[in-house]
Amino acid sequence: MTGESRTSALLPTFARADLSFERGEGPWLITPQGERYLDFAAGIAVNSLGHAHPHLVEALQAQASKLWHVSNLFQIPEGERLARRLVDATFADTVFFTNSGAESLECAIKMARKYHAVNGNPERYRIVTFEGAFHGRTLATIAAGGQKKYLEGFGPKVEGFDQVPFGDHEALKAAIGPETAAILIEPVQGEGGVRSVPPQCLRGLRELCDQHGLLLIFDEVQTGVGRTGKLFAHQRSGVTPDIMAVAKGIGGGFPMGACLATAEAGKGMTAGTHGTTFGGNPLAMAVGNAVLDVVLAPGFLENVERVSLLMKQRLAEIKDRHPGVIEEIRGEGLLLGIKAKVPNTDLVAALREEKLLSVGAGDNVVRFLPPLIIDDAIVTEAVSKLDRACARIEAAQAQLAKGAAE
Ligand SMILES: *Cc1c(COP(=O)(O)O)cnc(C)c1O
């Protein structure tokens, strides 16, 4: 527990739980008092391989004793290698490394605008986005996300984003005009409540983009790097984007991100047009390569799919046992959502009481984002914790009802 008697010196932008951890082991987080929490928050889909993964620790330590940072004024062989591996595994021809998801989106947005500018159409700078989206907290990405609660009080909204309702094809078509540059979408909305875009809709978006000369941008910051059981979520649909933003799981806990693109989409981004001091530094690149070593190893993603299926089945059983608490189970791979019938904050709190960490999302959903390394025994453990958390909520409801009757 931290700072009970003194107020925090941190800017209070987060409503933090009064809980801290000293170390982690795989899917477990351990408090200074030695209490063990099952970590199905995974740093919000960041600790893709759990805590203290030996291969990642070794890669970081080996690099730390050699070289931390040189800047992008010089060649960074580890970055060349990671970019090549990402290109070989995806639609992309080129990669720009960043430090965060929002920066990956900033690169994607700038790239889309620049593409049309160098094509002689600088008036094409607008980007169509979807309600419920989350793309980060910079000025451009809050405008892209379009959520009032994140925009309020921060001055004029950055120009150039047109938001349409999720799944509204007519509104989407109507939003495309002569100034439209791109469509930006998360293949599965994470913060928005684990809402999947059906493969046929992704295909429809691709067609629409081709028809109108627009770039298709996927935000795979949360869904990428194995989270949904494919290396990238869109690979299930057979559709490829022109640009893709990645972060969160790509560093396994080391802050890093990437913007991937086709050579055509990236053609305007020539020397001097964009930059970063920290992005792609040797420490980040060493860890990024180590994450890929594990995620691309034969059988790893198949195991994510298998564990996901098991978890979904077991979660469905819990839903049936507690119909007053759980409304629906949704999601792909190990990006799973439990739509609650009680306030999702109550369910997150009850799970925490059972020492299972989860993350709230929009649409009254609780997210389970376990590390991708979990096995069947961990699924069993998590499911029984959820079962007990639901029972805890039902007991509290019964207590309330009894009180009201008296
Ligand atoms: C988390 C997230 C972002 C923002 O990433 P940061 O690293 O917090 O800047 C953008 N898009 C999606 C889909 C995310 O889940």
CB of residue 218 inside a 6 A radius of ligand 1? no
Which residue has its alpha carbon closest to ligand 1 atom 5?
101
The per-residue pLDDT for 153 is: 98
What distances in angstroms separate CA 339 from CA 215, 237, 360, one per listed residue? 33, 24, 10
The Cα–Cα gap between 71 and 183 comes to 32
Which residue has its alpha carbon closest to ligand 1 atom 6?
101
- Inter-helix orientation angle 77-89/282-295, to 10°: 30
* Residues 163/219, Cβ–Cβ less than 8 Å: no
**What residues contact residue 309 under an 8 Å CB cut-off, 6+ apart?**
none
CB of residue 102 inside a 6 A radius of ligand 1? yes
Ligand 1 closest atom vs CA 102: 9
* Residues 100/257, Cβ–Cβ less than 8 Å: yes
| Backbone angles phi and psi of 215, in degrees to 5 | -90, 140
Ligand 1 closest atom vs CA 255: 7
Ligand 1 closest atom vs CA 138: 9
The Cα–Cα gap between 344 and 87 comes to 39
135 CA distance to ligand 1 middle (Å): 5
Angle ∠(92,336,40) on CA atoms, nearest 5: 100
136 CA distance to ligand 1 middle (Å): 5
The per-residue pLDDT for 3 is: 45
Domain ranges of the chain: 23-39+299-405, 54-295
Mutate which of 195, 248, 365 to test ligand 1's pocket (most atoms within 8 Å of Cβ)?
A: 248
CB of residue 190 inside a 6 A radius of ligand 1? yes
The per-residue pLDDT for 317 is: 98
The per-residue pLDDT for 1 is: 46
Q: Which fold has domain 54-295?
A: Aspartate Aminotransferase; domain 2 (3.40.640)
- The low-confidence residues of the chain, meaning pLDDT below 70, are 1-5
Residue 177's CB is within 10 A of a number of other CB atoms, namely 11
The per-residue pLDDT for 6 is: 73
Instruction: For the chain, give the mean pLDDT.
Output: 97
CB of residue 134 inside a 6 A radius of ligand 1? yes
Q: Say if pTM beats, i.e. exceeds, 0.75.
A: yes
Q: What's the chain's Rg over C-alpha atoms? A: 22
The per-residue pLDDT for 4 is: 53
179 CA distance to ligand 1 middle (Å): 26
221 CA distance to ligand 1 middle (Å): 6
Assess if CATH 3.90.1150.10 describes domain 23-39+299-405. yes
For residue 257, which amino acid is it?
G
